Amino acid sequence: MSQPPGPAMPAQPSTPAPEEAEEAATKAVPEPAPDPAAPARHPVDQLLPPTRLGLLGLQHVLVMYTGCVTVPLVFGSAAKLDTSTIGLLINADLLVAGLITLLQALGLGKVAGVRLPVVAGATFTAVSPMILIAGDYGIQAVYGAMIAAGVFGLLVAVPFARAVRFFPPLVSGTVITVIGLSLIGVAAGLIAGQDPAAKDYARPSHLALAGGIVLLIVLVQRLTRGFLAQLGVLIGLVAGTLVAVPMGLTDFSSVGGADWFGLASPFHFGAPHFPVAAVISMCVVMLVTYTESTADMLAVAEMTGRDLSRGDLARGLAADGLSGIFGGVMNGFLDTAFAQNVGLVGMTKVRSRYVAAVAGAILLALALIPKLGQIVASLPGPVIGGAGLVMFATVTAVGIATLRTVEFDGTGNLLIVAVSIGLGMLPVVAPSFYHAFPTWVQIIGGSAITSATIAAFALNLLFHHTPSRTQRPAPPAEAPAS
C-alpha cells in the first residue's frame, strides 16, 4: 500500500524523476501535424479555449462564493464590527482567496503552489479562535497571530508533507468521505434556513426549488454531452435564480449601494499584536488547516490522475501558509482548499488547472469591485444549497470510491474506517459535544475533518506501522520449535 512519492523508486533504474522521463518521451515522439493545438500534455496542464475557461471558472466561483464570504460575515458580526467594516473584510477575504487560488493553480517556481485545479477559500476552522482572540486581546492580536501562524506554516510545510506516505487510500478515502458528509449539513442550512423557529424555515416551496435544481443538474448530466454537460451546476444556479425571482427569494437592493471599487488598506485595524496564547492558538489552527488541505489535494490528485509528490504537497501547503501572512496584512483570513470545488472537479471531469486560475482571477475582480460581489452574494440560499448538495455528496462518493481500493479482509481496516467516521461525525451531529473542554481541544475535536484525519492517521499507524502489528504472525512459526 505504498504511495507514489515513496523514498525509493527501484522500478525506474536510470530516471529518478518520472516527469522527466515523460517529458523526454514526449519530445521523442513527433507531434501530429493535423492537430498541433493538442500537445502531449497531462490534462492538468492543458489550456482550454477562452469561452470554456471563463464559464468553467465562473462555475467554480459560484459554487464556493457563499461559503467563502460566510466566514467574514460570522466573524464580523461576532466581533461587533459595523456593516461597512464587514464589507471591507469580505473584500479582503476575496482578495486573499483569489491570490492563493492563482498561486495553487499556476505555482510560484519551487516555492509555493500545488499546480492542480484547487480553489482556495477562507476556512471555518479559524472562526472560533479568531472570535475568542478578538474578545480577549483585540482585533490587532487576531491579525498578528494570523501572520505568526502563516510564518509557522511556511516552516513546517516540508516536514508536514513528508508524512504523505502515511496517507494511503485507507486514510485519504476515509477523510474525503467525512469531508463530504460533514458539508451536507451546510447545504441543508442554505436550503431550509438556519433558524428552526423562523416562519419560513424549511418552507415546501424552498425545498421544491432546491430539489428542482438537483433534478436539473442530473438531467443535464444525463441528457447532454461534452461542454454542456460540464456546465450542469452553472445551468442549475442560473435557472434556479430565475425561478426564485417571482418567488420573492431574490434581493438585489444591496447592489445599488455597493461601491464600484473598494479595498481595505493594509493593517486597517492598526499595527498587529502578538500575544503568546493567541499565536499558539492560531498555529494549531494552521496545522488543522494543513490536514484539511492535504486530504483535499490528495483527492484532486486522484481525480486528475496526477501523482502528488512530497514536493508538490509541500508547495501546496506553503500556499496555505502564505494565506496567513497575506490575510494578516490585508485583514483577510486563513485559506484552505475548498471541498465543494473538489467535488466539482470530480463531477465535471475537467482537470485543467487553468480553470482554477480563471476562478482566482474572478475572485480578485469581485474583491476589487464590491458591486459585482454583491450580485453574487444575492443568490438565494435554496439555489446555492441545491447545487451545494450535489457537490458535497460528490465529495463523499469520491471518498467511497477511494475506499474501494482498500483491502478489508483480515486487516483491521474496516474498524479503522468505522471509528474514524464515527469520531469525525460527532461534532457534526452534536456541535456542542466538546464545549466543556479547553479552546484548543474544541478547535481540534470540533472539526469533523480534523477529528477524522487524526483518528484515521493514528489507527493506520497502530495497525500497520507498529512492531506489534508486523510481528503478529511470528508466534505460529516459533511454536513447533518450543
- The DSSP code sequence of 231-251 is THHHHHHHHHHHHHTTTT---
Residue 272: pLDDT over 80: yes
Where does the pLDDT of residue 8 fall: very low under 50, low under 70, confident under 90, or very high at 90 and above? very low
DSSP-derived 3-state class of residue 36: coil
Residue 481: pLDDT over 60: no
**pLDDT of amino acid 418:** 95
Residue 3: pLDDT over 60: no
Distance between CA atoms of residues 335 and 122, nearest Å: 4
- Annotate 190-210 with b (16+ C-beta within 10 A) or e (fewer): bbbbeeeeeeeeebeebeebb
**pLDDT of amino acid 56:** 87
Residues 6+ apart with CB under 8 A from 157: 290, 314, 315, 317, 318, 321
Instruction: Tell me the chain's radius of gyration from C-alpha atoms.
Output: 23
Where does the pLDDT of residue 482 fall: very low under 50, low under 70, confident under 90, or very high at 90 and above? very low
**pLDDT of amino acid 66:** 67
Where does the pLDDT of residue 35 fall: very low under 50, low under 70, confident under 90, or very high at 90 and above? low
Where are the extended beta strands (E) located within 96-249? Answer: 120-122
Distance between CA atoms of residues 364 and 300, nearest Å: 23
Q: What is the mean pLDDT of the chain?
A: 79
Distance between CA atoms of residues 40 and 46, nearest Å: 9
Distance between CA atoms of residues 370 and 69, nearest Å: 12
Model pTM? 0.67
**pLDDT of amino acid 10:** 42
| 240 touches 209 (CB < 8 A) | yes
How many CB atoms within 10 Å of residue 461? 13
pLDDT in tens, 155-205: 999 998 988 778 788 887 888 788 778 878 877 887 888 778 888 788 888
How many CB atoms within 10 Å of residue 27? 10
Residues 6+ apart with CB under 8 A from 191: 202, 206, 207, 210, 381, 382, 385, 386, 389
Where does the pLDDT of residue 254 fall: very low under 50, low under 70, confident under 90, or very high at 90 and above? low
pLDDT in tens, 422-449: 998 998 888 888 888 877 677 677 778 7
Distance between CA atoms of residues 200 and 195, nearest Å: 9
- Annotate 281-308 with b (16+ C-beta within 10 A) or e (fewer): bbbbbbbbbbbbbbbbbbbbbbbbebeb
Give 1 or 426, the one with higher predicted confidence: 426
pLDDT in tens, 341-383: 887 787 778 889 999 999 999 999 888 877 766 666 667 778 8
| 461 touches 165 (CB < 8 A) | no
